[in-house]
Amino acid sequence: MTVAVAEARAKVNLHLHVVGRRPDGYHLLDSLVAFAGVGDTVEVRAGRGLSLSVEGPMADGLAGEGDNLVLKAARALADGLGRPPDLAIRLVKRLPVASGIGGGSADAAATLRAAAALWDLPPGAPVLARVAPPLGADVPVCLLGRAVNMGGVGEVLDPAPVLPRAWMVLVNPGVACPTPAVFRARTGLFSAPDPLVEAPPNVAALGAALGRRRNDLTAAAVTLLPVVAEVLERLDALDGCRIARMSGSGATCFALFDDEDAARRAAATLGGAHPGWWTAACPLLSDANAER
């Protein structure tokens, strides 16, 4: 193999409960995580030393980042295998940076998958699971690429029920929302865990299940970035929207729809009214790796 390509699908927290805090300050979570049919692309070739080129509509968001997660992931896997990280990596950046949909973590996970394929490792090679967690809390779930009930600080990944076929509209208002700042701004009591255990038979049932849950970081994100409240309001008002929520620590929000036509019409409506917002209509994926 001379080149390996992996897709870095957007990670979506369909709900997110903050259920506690460890003595080291890291928060404990209960989150239903799935993936969206939109993302970045990582292409890996053999190289002399380690290099990274970035292109795509969101490439400017990584300008000035010397040692980003893609390079760290490549080095981590090479170190785990006891070999030099001789790779030429090309990243096509389509997802907003620092946006609550795991862009950097998804890129790191895709780098691990692509480099493993280039170096003839099987997809489930134990070294991948070893090197992923130190790269970031969301890297293990992005490496797995399947819908899960995520717990702990991101390291507990339990299979989620099969999710119905659905479409979503993802919207980011064009502002970065750093995760540490959002967690620091969160106030109030911790929530009880409430993982999804029964498979929703359709999108309406999934929307109802999410309606009984929430994203505990929304109020904190709105305090820091009031535009998040506007995004949620605009999404909720779209024709056919089953539910609108913020993903992760924001500022990206999503709305669920029954089918592709409804989602694309909604995205066109919202994008036309707010051309400065990043808007994408895409399928909800239970298994991102199977959809590549």
Residue 165 gets which letter from DSSP? Answer: P
Q: Is 72 a catalytic residue?
A: no
pLDDT surpasses 80 at 66: no
Give the three-class secondary structure for 199: coil
Residue 192 gets which letter from DSSP? Answer: P
Domain ranges of the chain: 3-159, 167-291
Residues 103/8, Cβ–Cβ less than 8 Å: yes
Mean pLDDT of 36-50: 96
Give the three-class secondary structure for 84: coil
Give the three-class secondary structure for 180: helix
Q: What is the rounded CA–CA span in Å between residue 33 and residue 36?
A: 10
178-212 pLDDT per residue, tens: 899 999 999 999 999 999 999 999 999 999 999 99
Taking all residues of the chain, what is their mean pLDDT, rounded to a whole number? 95
Which residues make beta-bridge pairs with 233? none
Out of 30, 40, 107, 138, the active site residue is 138
pLDDT surpasses 70 at 290: no
First to last CA, the chain: 18
Question: What is the CATH superfamily name and number for domain 167-291?
Answer: GHMP kinase, C-terminal domain (3.30.70.890)
Q: Is 30 a catalytic residue?
A: no
- pTM, 2 dp: 0.95
Out of 11, 40, 93, 107, the active site residue is 11
Phi, psi at 287, each rounded to 5°: -135, 100
Q: What pLDDT shows up at residue 123? A: 85
71-128 pLDDT per residue, tens: 999 999 999 999 999 999 999 999 998 899 998 999 999 999 999 999 999 988 999 9
Topology classification of domain 3-159: Ribosomal Protein S5; domain 2 (3.30.230)
Q: What is the rounded CA–CA span in Å between residue 288 and residue 101?
A: 14
Q: What is the rounded CA–CA span in Å between residue 206 and residue 236?
A: 16
Residues 236/152, Cβ–Cβ less than 8 Å: no
